[in-house]
Amino acid sequence: MRIQVTGRMEDRFGEVLDQKALDFLVALDGEFATRRVQVLDTRRARRARYAEGQLPGFLPETRAIREDPSWRVAPPAPGLLDRRVEITGPTDRKMTVNALNSGAKVWLADFEDATSPTWHNIVTGQLNLIDAIDRRIDFTAPSGKRYALGEETATIVVRPRGWHLAEKHIVVDGRPISASLVDFGLYFYHCAQRLIDAGRGPYFYLPKLESHLEARLWNDVFRFAQNYVGIPRGTIRATTLIETITAAFEMEEILYELREHSAGLNAGRWDYIFSVIKNFGNRDDFVLPDRAAVTMTVPFMRAYTESLVRTCHRRGAHAIGGMAAFIPSKEPAANRAALEKVRADKEREAGDGFDGSWVAHPGLVPVCRAAFDAVLGEWPNQVDRRREEVTVTADDLLAVDRTPGQVTYHGVRNNVAVALRYLDAWLAGTGAVAIFDLMEDAATAEIARCQIWQWIHHGTPLAGGGYVTADLVRSMMDEELAALRQDRSPADDDRLARAAGIFVDDALGEELPAFFTTDAYARHLAGPASPVS
């Protein structure tokens, strides 16, 4: 047999991994596995060029696409006209029900940043999506709380894992298959027709793209999939996250490649910051201050979001805002402060022309809705607001050295503390967690470990004296681990040691690995003992 499922088959997994769905995965793999490898090679080569001092720019070979004012993306599909509030989150059963009932217009069902890609999470996530669409997901929790879908639910938009990740529990001809193709393929195969019958469609968010050629690859996947099951071209819709610095130079081209399937662009701010550090970490003029100082209004971030809105609206596409990391707190003063910060963030986005934005928690839906209601009123979006006055140059997008702020002892310590806590949760199977009152996920954890690497690499001075050194970071790490061990049971020691090992490999080494998730997945989550107990 060409395809083998090596992951443990739990209750009902056969419903997701039936022979016809597996045949579809084999077909996707046969068509696209080689191109995925080429994409990853191209990424490596591009990063190597940046390491030698090259900087990205707008592509001369695609100038005609940018300068042609005539083309537009497809009009919005059913359920995607009004996207003023989108809630994101993992696809476990409880959160699936809570997100769909949250009052948000869209639910981003996340297999990427918010999910630890254990085999269990991936397959049960697919099952939960099928059950949600069939409206048979209701259940009673052990606490006695009843979870049931309401009458009106959010439109589901699935975010498959990025091209860099493999799914090692499914092998084709002895090779692990692309995780993107698994998440896309299983959802599409099982749910496309169900969604069409329910008056919506198979919709996706595309993460971590680095170029328009990656968008072309996704577009070809969509064409192939639609032909395979016999549904019209253009039934699939996809919103592309602009969350890498290289994609920011190719927004027009990405919309163009996907135009028959495009549902717009999203400003994935956290991975964007990560991408800037990752690509230019070697350069003195790209050293960023404490993470808390890298706000959405610093010049390089502002250039990126202004350009995104203008580009989308010029092409008739939705521009969707990003994630404020502040989440509700049980402590009233902290809660008020968090809501106020989210309100300011969403009001700025609505004022800038975004058509909607993301929230991480149901308690934030009303804040985001109010900010967009105030600007949109009865209109479903503001795609007609062209923002023609905006001009953004390559220098603006790369103006990282104009970011005010310092590197502080507290900022370094916070990154160490967040990275260790996040990695520990990720190893235990949870991909999004509240840490020190902020939402943390794979993208924010990447920032934490990359900043540490960058600051050590440059021997960055600390405000108040001293420098960031590997010794300083190691001593902080030891203190944090000791404090965590005190709070936990000895049974957690092995997992904490593994979390520390990932941190050392990915933040303290000579080289800066492209993603912590790839190696950490292969070493810790892909074996029989995943998640790590």
Positions marked active-site:
159, 441
Q: Which is nearer to ligand O=CC(=O)O, 470 or 514 (CB)?
A: 514
Helix (H) or strand (E) holding 492: none
Q: Which residues within the stretch 112-171 sit at the binding site for ligand O=CC(=O)O (CB under 6 A)?
A: 113
Q: Which is nearer to ligand ACO, 316 or 431 (CB)?
A: 431
What's the per-residue H, E or C state across 183-232?
Answer: HHHHHHHHHHHHHHHCCCCCEEEECCCCCHHHHHHHHHHHHHHHHHHCCC
The one-letter code for the residue type at 122 is I
State the number of binding residues for ligand O=CC(=O)O (CB under 6 A). Answer: 10
Q: Which is nearer to ligand O=CC(=O)O, 113 or 252 (CB)?
A: 113
Instruction: Give the torsion through C-alpha atoms of 469, 472, 473, 477, to 10 deg.
Output: 170
Binding mask 150-179 for ligand ACO (x = CB under 6 A): ------------------------------
Q: What angle do CA 275, 276, 281 make, to 5 degrees?
A: 105
Here the tokens at position 314 are: 């010029």
Q: Name which of ligand ACO, Mg ion, ligand O=CC(=O)O, none residue 95 binds, using a CB cut-off of 5 to 8 Å depending on partner kind.
A: ligand ACO
In whole angstroms, the minimum distance from the beta carbon of 320 to ligand ACO comes to 12
DSSP 368: H
Q: If DSSP codes are grouped into helix, strand and coil, which group holds residue 54?
A: coil
Q: Which is nearer to ligand O=CC(=O)O, 214 or 271 (CB)?
A: 271
Beta-strand relationship, 356-359 and 438-440 = unpaired
Q: Which is nearer to ligand ACO, 42 or 295 (CB)?
A: 295
**Residue 204 touches ligand O=CC(=O)O, criterion: CB under 6 A:** no
Beta-carbon neighbour count of residue 366 at 10 Å? Answer: 16
DSSP 83: -
In whole angstroms, the minimum distance from the beta carbon of 266 to Mg ion comes to 9
**Residue 268 touches Mg ion, criterion: CB under 5 A:** yes
**Residue 334 touches ligand ACO, criterion: CB under 6 A:** no
In whole angstroms, the minimum distance from the beta carbon of 271 to ligand O=CC(=O)O comes to 3
In whole angstroms, the minimum distance from the beta carbon of 322 to ligand ACO comes to 7
Contact with ligand ACO (CB under 6 A) among 22, 39, 80, 99: 99
Please give the Cα distance from 190 to 169 (Å, whole number). 19
Please give the Cα distance from 199 to 197 (Å, whole number). 5
Q: Which is nearer to ligand ACO, 139 or 467 (CB)?
A: 139
Contact with Mg ion (CB under 5 A) among 327, 443, 456, 477: 443
| CA atoms within 13 Å, Cβ hemisphere of 50 | 22
Residue 215 phi/psi, 5-degree rounding, is -65, -40
Here the tokens at position 150 are: 């309401």
Q: Name which of Mg ion, ligand O=CC(=O)O, ligand ACO, none residue 433 binds, using a CB cut-off of 5 to 8 Å depending on partner kind.
A: ligand ACO
Reference 515, options 165, 142, 178; nearest CA is: 165
Residue 320 phi/psi, 5-degree rounding, is -110, 135
Please report, as ranges, the residues that interact with ligand O=CC(=O)O according to CB under 6 A: 113, 241, 243, 268-271, 322-323, 443
